[in-house]
């Protein structure tokens, strides 16, 4: 009934978490559809081939009520067109479940969107603890030149709803303008469905 206490080691620079139960690897070929500039996606795939965008290392904690699953995410630097490398993004299946992110290395941005279509951005770097309040979809982008690594912890019964973001996307995209990250309106976005 009781689980044994345990600890994992986390390497702040690489994000490697040991022992980790699963390592998720997302490449451009897997998740290219999340980026605004689909021509850029095709161009990269046909000239450079596939590209690793991010990895997730998860501690062996049950995804069930009462537990606090935790993980690290490593987003590799780069852009697709003007848009920074980023995670797929999701709502929690139970919308009233929150999450905490702690920056470990590199620089990034937490992008949040609520169901009214309002978007917020929170700058992250080592030592910044960001709060994802209940009800906000969230994704992170690497805005720097080195891997952006952060630690996440969330309620075990939160669940992950990827489908809503896959269908609707985010109302704004994080793009580079004069070398700096700026939120830009997503011209394809319309609330409640439609294109990316």
Number of residues that bind ligand PAN (CB under 6 A): 13
> Strands (DSSP E) along the chain, which ranges?
9-10, 17-18, 22-27, 52-58, 70-75, 79-80, 83-84, 91-92, 99-105, 107-113, 119-125, 129-132, 137-142, 148-153, 160-161, 172-177, 180-185
Binding residues among 112-131 for Zn ion as defined by CB under 5 A: none
Q: Does 34 bind ligand PAN (CB under 6 A)?
A: no
139 binds, among Zn ion, ligand PAN, none (CB under 5 to 8 A by kind): ligand PAN
**What is the nearest approach in angstroms of Zn ion to the Cβ of residue 88?**
11
Under the binding rule (CB under 6 A), the answer on residue 88 touching ligand PAN is yes
**Pairing outcome for strands 119-125 and 91-92:** unpaired
Among Zn ion, ligand PAN, none, what binds residue 79 when CB lies within 5 to 8 Å by partner kind?
Answer: none
Residues that bind ligand PAN (CB under 6 A): 56, 71, 73, 87-90, 99, 138-140, 152, 154
């Amino acid at each position: 009934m009781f689980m044994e206490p345990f600890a994992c080691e986390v390497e702040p620079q690489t994000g490697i978490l040991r022992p980790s139960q699963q390592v998720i690897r997302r490449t451009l070929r897997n998740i290219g559809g999340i980026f605004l500039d689909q021509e850029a996606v095709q161009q990269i795939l046909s000239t450079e081939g596939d590209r690793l965008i991010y990895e997730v290392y998860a501690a062996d904690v049950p995804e069930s009520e009462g537990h606090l699953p935790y993980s690290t995410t490593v987003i590799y630097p780069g852009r697709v067109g003007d848009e920074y490398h980023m995670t797929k993004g999701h709502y929690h299946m139970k919308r009233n479940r929150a999450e905490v992110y702690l920056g470990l290395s590199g620089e990034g941005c937490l992008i949040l969107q609520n169901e009214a279509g309002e978007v917020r951005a929170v700058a992250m770097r080592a030592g910044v603890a960001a709060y994802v309040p209940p009800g906000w979809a969230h994704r992170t982008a690497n805005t720097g030149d080195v891997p952006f690594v952060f630690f996440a912890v969330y309620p075990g019964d939160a669940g992950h709803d990827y489908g809503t973001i896959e269908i609707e996307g985010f109302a704004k995209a994080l793009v580079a303008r004069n070398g700096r990250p700026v939120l830009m309106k997503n011209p394809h976005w319309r609330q409640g469905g439609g294109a990316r």
